[in-house]
Amino acid sequence: MSKRNKITNKIDIIMVSFYSEKMINKCLKNIPSDINIIIVNNAINDPLKSKISKRRNLKVVTPEKNLGNGGGVNFGLKISKKKYAMYLDVDTTFKKNIFRKLVILAEKTQNWSIIAPNLLKYNYRKKNFVRTYNNDFFEMKFVEGCALLFNIKKIKHLGFYDEKIFLYYEEDDLFFRYRKNGFKVLMSKNVFISHKGNSSVNEKFSYEIELNRNWHIMWSKFYYFKKNYSYFYGILKTFKNFFSSIIKSLIYYLINNNKYKIYFYRMNGLWNSYLGNKSFKRPNL
């Protein structure tokens, strides 16, 4: 067995799709042909498999309902049989050798749960860094969740993403829990990836998706702080968002219906989170 095959046999790639065939086909071009790929299709009525490039080692799996991003990643992680699994947002771009580099680094590094590549043209805040871990990594409080290499054995011990969170803050919650229990999140110093952001869904659905993003980012923000700190701390961290959304929705009610809906959704997401209601909002597609 070649050295390359030894490496690729240790890793699965996981992607989550919601009407994302265009970006997935771009992404697939840069994944080496000998790496297994699991695509979780959250658009349960979309025949995704017929729309994407044919590959021998690609599996499209469709859950019974739209699980959101974190839930979709969980679905893929539970299917993976490899030592490592790497989640990729479908709108990431990278060189083909990135997976080999990350596995080599992972194999020689101890005591880690998640490894993230660095992001091109992105500057992390100082508060996100814990320390320089070794010559290859920084230990982090937070990394962007667009590309994450999971140590399957470690994450099975503490569990996966909180599936009460449909979108946003799922990584914050996961990293907080891991670090609280001594599981390290690392970021590579020298392995890079690019991420476009908010571009994974077919453009014809963009406004409906924007409404849902605004609802969930507010619902999830309060839920994250309530869960990991306290109810009152969650209120403290979000009350400006709540009153700003009320004021802006009133301002735009008569002059710009699209903007009115965005701020109404933000207010409504927070209000439902304050009341302890589930993260129920889904795209009306």
CA distance 26 to 29: 6
Fold of 3-195: Spore Coat Polysaccharide Biosynthesis Protein SpsA; Chain A (3.90.550)
Predicted pLDDT at 96: 87
pLDDT digits (tens, 9 = 90+) for 147-165: 999 999 888 888 899 999 9
Secondary structure element (H or E) that encloses residue 169, with its range: none
Predicted pLDDT at 155: 86
Residue 45 has pLDDT above 90, yes or no: no
Residue 192 has pLDDT above 90, yes or no: yes
Mean pLDDT of 21-36: 90
Residue 201 has pLDDT above 80, yes or no: no
Range in 28-37, 77-86, 97-106, 201-210 the model is least confident about: 201-210
At 200, is the pLDDT very low, low, confident or very high (cuts 50, 70, 90)? low
Predicted pLDDT at 206: 82
Hey, what are 159's tokens? Answer: 């569990």
Residue 120 has pLDDT above 80, yes or no: yes
Is residue 38 within 8 A of residue 62, CB to CB? The reply is: no
Residue 140 has pLDDT above 80, yes or no: yes
Q: Where are the beta strands (DSSP E) in the chain?
A: 11-17, 36-41, 58-61, 84-88, 92-93, 114-119, 129-132, 137-140, 147-151, 185-195
Predicted pLDDT at 9: 85
Residue 170 has pLDDT above 60, yes or no: yes
Predicted pLDDT at 39: 94
Range in 46-50, 119-123, 212-216, 253-257 the model is least confident about: 46-50
Residue-averaged pLDDT of the chain: 91
Residue 225 has pLDDT above 70, yes or no: yes
pLDDT digits (tens, 9 = 90+) for 47-90: 887 888 788 889 999 999 999 999 999 999 999 999 999 999 99
Is residue 84 within 8 A of residue 106, CB to CB? The reply is: yes
Is residue 7 within 8 A of residue 98, CB to CB? The reply is: no
Range in 55-69, 194-208, 227-241 the model is least confident about: 194-208
Predicted pLDDT at 1: 46
**pTM for this model (two decimals):** 0.91
